[in-house]
Amino acid sequence: MQPLEAGEPAEAGPYRLLGRLGAGGMGRVYLGRSAGGRTVAVKIVHPHLALDERFRARFRREVAAARRVGGAWTAPVLDADPDAPVPWVATAYVAGPSLTAAVTDGGPLPAHTVRALGAGLAEALAAVHELGLVHRDVKPSNVLLTLDGPLLIDFGIARALADTASLTSTGVSVGSPGYMAPEQILGKGVTGAADVFSLGAVLAFAATGEPPFRGGTSAALLYQVVHEEPELGPLDGPLRELTAACLAKDPASRPAPAEAGRRLAPEGPARLIAAGWLPGPLVEQVSRSAVRLLNLDTDTGPRSGPVAFTRSSVEGAVPAASGAGVFGPAPVRGPSGTEGAPGAAAVPPPRDATGRVSFRVAADSGPARGGRGRRVSCTVAPAVAGALVAGSVGAGALLRPWSDRSGPDSEAGAEQSGHTATGSPTPSGTGTVPARYLGTWEGPATALDGTLPLGTFRLTVHQARTGEELGRLRGTDQIGAVCTDVLTLKKVTKTQVLAISTGAEGNHSGCNPSPHQVELTPVGDDLRYTSDSSAEGNPVSRMARVR
C-alpha cells in the first residue's frame, strides 16, 4: 500500500481512505475503513471518466451485476454509488497477496496448491455464469490468496450474457492481453467459455511462473493467443491436460467450469483447502498482512478532503483568469513531459496550512448542447489535474497502447503561406499542410491486415513546416491504456502527408518508442492512417473528423 499523495481523495462516501492499493485504466483502488471499523477496498473512477455518460451507464450496469455475485470464492460488493459526481464502489478487503505477487516473489506454486486454486476459481465462475454473467477479466492480479482459499475479484467489466448492446468505444475489446480468449480479442461473441480460457492461462502462470503466451509486443502477444499454441513448460499429467483443454482455440472444445472443477478436485475445493492449501511462506505472508491491517492507524492526520464535484453554472461561472477549463478526457502529455496543453505555463498548485494540495473541481451534471455528453467547467491547478489523471495507464499498461510520435513532415518548395503549430505565420516558400488534413480525427484501429483490433486512435493535425511537429496520435487500447505518439512533418505530396512518428516522453513502458513512418491519406470525408511499424503489426485506422 502506498500513502496518499497530495491531491488524492481522503474520503469516498462513508469510508475514510488510508492508502492507495493500485491503479488501472478505469480508476484507482484505495484501502478504506468505515466509521464502524470495517476495512474495504474502494475503487474510485478517474474524474475524466465520470464526465462520460456512456461510461456512467456502463459503470452503473456493471455495479448492479457485481452486486448479484456472491459465493465462497468471490469478494462481495459491499457498497457503491455509481451516480455520485465521481462514482465509486467498495468491496470486501482481503489481507492476502494477489496471485501475481505471490508467484513473482516466490516462484511457481506447488501442484496441490494449483489444483485447489483452479477448483475454487472454477466453482466461482460456475456461480457467476449461472447468474447469466461473464467475468471477462480473469487474470492473476484479480485472484487473491487467503488462508480460506482463493478469491476472484474485480467484476468491473463483467457483462450480462444476454446484453448485446455495446457501451464501449468502437473497436475496443475488454480484457487483459495474454489472458483474453481468441474470440474476445477478435471482437466475436463472448460467452462463459472465454472465462474458462482465462482460467487455463491463470493455471499455467501459477504452475510454471510464466504466462502461456509471451509475445514481446502487444501485437505479437495477441497474435500468439489467436494463432499459436500455449507454452506450458514443465506442466505434466492431468493438470497439463486440463490446462491445455481450457486453452483450446475453439470455445466449444473447452470444458465447462463445473467439469474443470471436478477434474481438479473430485470432492470439491473445500476439502483441499481445509487440509492446508498454501505453502508455508505464503501462510506466513498472509498472517503478517492480517496483523498489519489490524495495527493500521486510522488517524492519518490532516487531509485535503474528498475529491468532489460541486454543481455550478457551466457558462460564465468561473472567470477565464482563474484557470477554468474543460474537465474531460485525460490531458495529452507535452513534449517536455508535463501534462496539459503544449506550451502551457506550469502553475504551482495551492496548498493549505498542512502543506497538502487543495483544489476545487466544479462540474455541471447537465447535458451539453445537442444532448452529447456532459458540459463541464472546472477550476484545477494544472499540476493537480495531471496528478489526477496520471494513474489512468496503471494496470492497463499490460496491453501495449499506441502513442503520438514525433518526426518530420512537409514538402519544401510549395509556394504557399501558412501557420506554425504556435500560430505564427510560416515564411513564404515553405510547404504547408492542406486544410483538408487539419483538425481532430478518430476511429477504430487494427493491425496484422485487419485481424487484430487495437482499440481507438485519435489524431490531431495542425499546420507545420518540414521538421516541425505536425500533430499527435493518442491510442487507447482494448483495456483503456493510452500511448501518445508525436508526428513530425516529413513531406507533403498531392495525394498524402508523410510523417515520422515517435513515442512521446512520459509514455509507459508498453508504448513503442522507435521512430517509424506514417502516411495520412484522404478517403472520402475520412482520413486513413497507415504505419510501417512491423513491430506493431503495421497499424491502420480510418478516422472520421470529430473537430
Known binding-site residue numbers: 43
Q: Which residues are annotated as a binding site for ATP?
A: 43
DSSP 23-38: E-SSEEEEEEE-TT--
Sign of CA dihedral 305, 307, 308, 313: positive
CB < 8 Å & 24+ apart, contacts of 186-191: 186/226, 186/451, 186/453, 187/453, 190/134, 190/136, 190/159, 191/134, 191/161, 191/251
The whole-angstrom separation of Cα 170 and Cα 444 is 6
468-491 burial string, b = 16+ CB within 10 Å, else e?
bbbbbbbbbbbbbbbbbbbbbbbb
Strands 309-310 and 361-362, sheet pairing: parallel
CB neighbour list of residue 270: distance below 8 Å, 6 or more residues apart: 72, 149
39-59 burial string, b = 16+ CB within 10 Å, else e?
bbbbbbbbbbbbbbbebbebb
CB neighbour list of residue 128: distance below 8 Å, 6 or more residues apart: 69, 74, 134, 135, 152, 155, 158, 192, 195
The whole-angstrom separation of Cα 271 and Cα 267 is 7
DSSP 147-167: TTEEEE---TT-EETT-----
Phi-psi region of 154 (alpha: psi -120 to 50; beta: other; left: phi over 0): left
CA dihedral 256, 262, 264, 265 (to 10 degrees): 150
Q: What are phi and psi of 300, to 5 degrees?
A: -90, 10
Helix (H, G, I), strand (E, B) or coil at 224: helix
**HSE of 101, CA atoms in CB hemisphere, 13 A:** 17
Is-contact 97 289, C-beta < 8 A? yes
The whole-angstrom separation of Cα 152 and Cα 526 is 44
CB neighbour list of residue 368: distance below 8 Å, 6 or more residues apart: 374, 375
Indicate the residue type of 411.
Answer: E
Q: Which residue has the cell 516466490?
A: 106
List, in sequence order, the alpha helices (H) in 247-374. 257-264, 269-274, 280-295
Rg of the chain over all Cα atoms, to the nearest angstrom: 25
Crossing angle of helices 111-130 and 257-264, rounded to 10°: 160
Q: Which residue has the cell 454543481?
A: 311
Residues with a known catalytic role:
137
Instruction: Give the number of other Cβ atoms within 10 Å of residue 208's Cβ.
Output: 20
